[in-house]
Amino acid sequence: MNILVIGGGGREYTLGWKLAQSPKCTKLYAVPGNPGMKKFAVCLEGIDLEDNAALVKAAQQYAVDLVVVGPEVPLTNGVVDAMQAAGIRAFGPSKAAAELEGSKSFSKSMMKKYGIPTAKYEVFTDADAARAYVKEQGAPIVIKADGLAAGKGVTVAQTEDKALAAIHDIMEDQEFGQAGSRVVIEEFMQGEEASLLAFTDGKTIRPMIPSQDHKCVYDGDKGPNTGGMGAYAPAPVMTDALIARAEKEVLQPIVAAMAKEGRPYKGCLYAGLMITDEGPKVVEFNARFGDPETQVVLPLLDSDLVDIMLACVDGTLDEQDIQWSKDTAVCVVMTSGGYPKSYQKGYPITGIEAAEKAGSLVVHAGTAEKDGQIVTNGGRVLGVVAKGTDIRAAVDKAYQGVAKISFQDEFHRRDIAHRALERMQK
Ligand code: AMP
Ligand code: GLY
């Protein structure tokens, strides 16, 4: 069958890389894809990812049998509904279901209504009321823009002043545009985070291997939040007992709740969890695969991703037997210096092939092609992924790959997977 991946970042690279390995995949297309994806996909340029009609037209033109949606914006924009209306199978939640990520206030209200463990919160549309609440609650406290802000709309404020500044930036300076017309203010949760992604067909859920992302830009989890500086899987903080608990207390209830609310959720459901003393609590739901979590989870999937995705679309996930590797995978993200603030683009990249020859999977995230040369074209430029029989082996191999690649102003964290390594030492 012909398959179309929507998106062009590291997550979509990895989705395409895995889908292309399926014997069921005849031809793989990507909109817009990226230069690295050309190894296994035909990249279609010039199509607006927010134009559902144009995306449907492309799917029809290339006789696509399955569409796989990577990023949140097309999902919250209803691309899955548009494909379905045109009779094309599409993996991902409908517009109504993707609200679980698209609106933090909706997501929090669902958790409250259905008793899913999460931080206590209030929603504000008025900056003065928000400030008064912060003064009453005190710090630490968490301020979030309600809508989509590319993972950057959250401030974990250790002081009241930082919280007040975040309210000003989001609501009065509109740093995230319309996404900040409402803020969600949350209780600070203490614990270690983990990402638990699951396949679901709206009834059955199948958790994937738990992973851990590194959201802060600097080593030691310092500095501002980014889209993600690296990841590893499995995350040992998620013991089998905790996975079972998260399945029972979080994943199953939210999928059942969405069905009950007339917004059945199909696709990949991403639960960002805080492992607190009281057990796993939801930090956020995302309506899609995580980036860079996908880069470490899919290399550990032994089963055919096409079969699983079709089962999610068709409602037959209960019949799927999903097999995972016993290995560990690590992804180190190489970024443009300055990210998540401003940075330069267009610098030539060298050493990608050498890293691949040494056994890394080099995932393109923010690259472009200029005069036959791969150049930097985003904040997160590449993800270097390696597998090993344990976390130490995987980390060492990933950093060996990173050492072979260079571009001007390159920056990466040197401590990816530090929590798992510390656990191993204990
Ligand atoms: P989000 O975009 O909601 O995942 O938030 C981004 C990051 O902010 C999370 O990955 C956490 O590290 C942190 N965070 C968000 N909400 C809370 C909370 N209530 N307590 C502590 N940390 C939080
Ligand atoms: N890695 C975090 C996210 O995809 O939202």
pLDDT at 105 over 90: no
Count H helices, E strands: the chain?
A: 15, 23
The number of the ligand 2 atom at minimal distance from the alpha carbon of 289 is 4
Structure tokens at 397: 């191999």
Name the phi and psi angles at 211, rounded to 5. -135, 175
Q: Does 247 contact ligand 2 (Cβ within 6 A)? A: no
Looking at residue 325, its amino acid is: S
Question: Which ligand has its closest atom nearest to the C-alpha of 274?
Answer: 1
* Residue nearest (by alpha carbon) to ligand 1 atom 4: 284
Distance 38 CA to ligand 1 centre (A): 35
Instruction: Give the atom of ligand 2 at the shortest distance from the alpha carbon of 293.
Output: 1
How much is the pTM? 0.94
Report phi then psi at 67, rounded to 5.
Answer: -110, 135
The string of pLDDT tens digits covering residues 52-77 is 999 999 999 999 999 999 999 999 99
Residue 194 pLDDT greater than 70, yes or no:
yes
* C-alpha 225 to ligand 2 mean position (Å): 11
Predicted pLDDT of residue 88:
98
The tens digit of pLDDT for each residue in 3-25 reads 999 999 999 999 999 999 999 99
- List, for residues 341-373, the tens digit of each pLDDT value: 999 999 999 999 999 999 999 999 999 999 999
**Which tokens go with 417?**
């997977």
Furthest C-alpha separation in the chain = 60
Residue type, 297: V
Helical ranges in 153-238 per DSSP H: 160-167
DSSP 8: -
Classify residue 208 by its DSSP letter: -
- 362-394 exposure pattern, b = at least 16 Cβ within 10 A, e = fewer: bbbbbbeeeeeebbbbbbbbbbbbbbbeebbeb
Rounded Cα gap, residues 354 and 93, in angstroms? 38
Q: pLDDT grade, residue 179 (50/70/90)?
A: low
Which ligand 2 atom lies nearest to the CA of residue 231?
1
Instruction: Give the pairing type, strands 89-91 and 66-69.
Output: parallel
Q: Which of 248, 289, 250 is nearest to 116 (CA)?
A: 250
The two beta strands, 279-286 and 267-276, are antiparallel
Q: Report the C-alpha gap between 224 and 236 in whole angstroms.
A: 25
The mean pLDDT of 299-303, rounded to a whole number, is 98
Q: Which residues line ligand 1 (CB under 6 A)?
A: 119, 142, 144, 151, 154, 156, 186-189, 193, 215, 225, 272, 283-284
pLDDT of residue 365: 98
Instruction: Tell me, using a 6 A CB cutoff, whether residue 230 lines ligand 2.
Output: no
> Which residue is it, tokens 């401003």?
342
CA of 407 to the centre of ligand 2 (A): 25
Residue owning the nearest CA to atom 5 of ligand 2: 290
Using a 6 Å cutoff on CB, does residue 293 contact ligand 2?
Answer: yes
Residue 425 has pLDDT above 90, yes or no: no
pLDDT at 151: 58
pLDDT above 70 for 418: yes
The two tokens of residue 375 are: 């150049």
How much of the chain, in percent, has pLDDT values that exceed 70? 99
Q: Which of ligand 2's atoms lies nearest the C-alpha of 291?
A: 4
pLDDT for residue 146 is more than 90: no
Residue 162, both tokens: 């930082």
Q: Under a CB-based contact definition with an 8 Å cutoff, are residues 272 and 283 in contact?
A: yes
Cα 310 to the center of its chain, rounded Å = 21
